[in-house]
A and B are shown apart, each in its own frame.
Chain A
């Protein structure tokens, strides 16, 4: 169990560092890094604060403490993926509307140029 918690601690810290480096290099925008940082923080707290993990295990009826850790991690990432799906959908809608607008404006510009010539 301790070894498992050490592994998840190392993974959480690695992820945390990767996210911070990516934000610093502007590969991830700050607003989208918040979800990742929160996920890392949750994993880190559960990995290092064993009483908290055991408290959650006891009160959720999960039969196994490591299972609690993985279920929590899975849940956090599912919520993040859901949030990103919403963001991607909005971006796709905006992207399509913009592409259509660019095409229509180019059509108008060509038409105006054609009228001038």
Chain B
């Protein structure tokens, strides 16, 4: 059984759904870069060989009984990590876009800064990786929306390459957005006065499969995320007015 060992225990979680083309490489690269660090693949009820390939590559498996979507899948990993007592959790996507060589940098910043969350960002450096046109437009739009809410700029709010410490883990294991979680998760943290930082990372083109956010879904994505952001803002503002003791209460994922 993978148990947290020591005060600086780290777990790498990899949410995966039908990623048989990439998962073995992702797990292998993480294990090469982070020897001795357990890798937990959360299989969101894949219909292909993701689960077996991940296990063969040396990952521990958390197999969901049916498809929950990205938020539910990631939250399951956070819940288990919290139960097992891990201090730091790094989330790496299972599609091969994230470079495992960046994990030590995220972890180091997480430990040294005392921030609750560190985001691996494509856009911190001017010559950082580029996203597609639609995604770039969406990211610019959300940067502008989030700036006044978060009180600090965020360059890559849609990045799924993140590290969290135990305080954030406690919050996320109780309350985590279920669909398109990255942006809403930032607001959930900020409303609790938690801090985040960004570190530059490289992102590769997806190895196999396709992004869940297609051009047709982009409008729905923007509407859904905007609604989620404002609901979170209103929810926590109301709790703050009621009293500080309630502001730390958890809620259900939304």
Interface residues of A (CB under 8 A from B): 93, 96-97, 99-100, 102-104, 106-108, 111-112, 114-115
Contact = CB atoms under 8 A, between A and B. Distances in A.
Contacts of B42: 103
A103 B63 contact: yes
Interface in B63-87: 63-66, 68, 72, 75-76, 79-80, 83
A113 B162 CA distance: 32
A114 B60 CA distance: 12
B216 interface: no
Given A103-B42, A107-B80, A111-B2, 9 more contacts: A96-B68, A96-B72, A96-B253, A99-B72, A100-B64, A103-B63, A107-B61, A107-B62, A111-B1
Q: How large is the interface on B (under 10, 10 to 19, 20 to 34, 35 or more residues)?
A: 20 to 34
A93 B72 CA distance: 10
Most buried by A among B64, B75, B178: B64
A104 B68 CA distance: 14
Listed from nearest, the 7 A-B pairs whose CB atoms lie closest are A111-B1, A100-B76, A96-B72, A103-B64, A93-B252, A102-B65, A104-B80
B227 to A, nearest CB: 14
Nearest to A106: B63
A93 B252 CA distance: 7
Interface of B is mostly: mixed
B1 A112 contact: yes
B224 to A, nearest CB: 14
Most buried by B among A93, A107, A111, A115: A107
A106 B1 CA distance: 12
Contact of A100 (B2, B61, B72): B72
Contacts of A99: 64-66, 68, 72, 76
Contacts of A115: 1
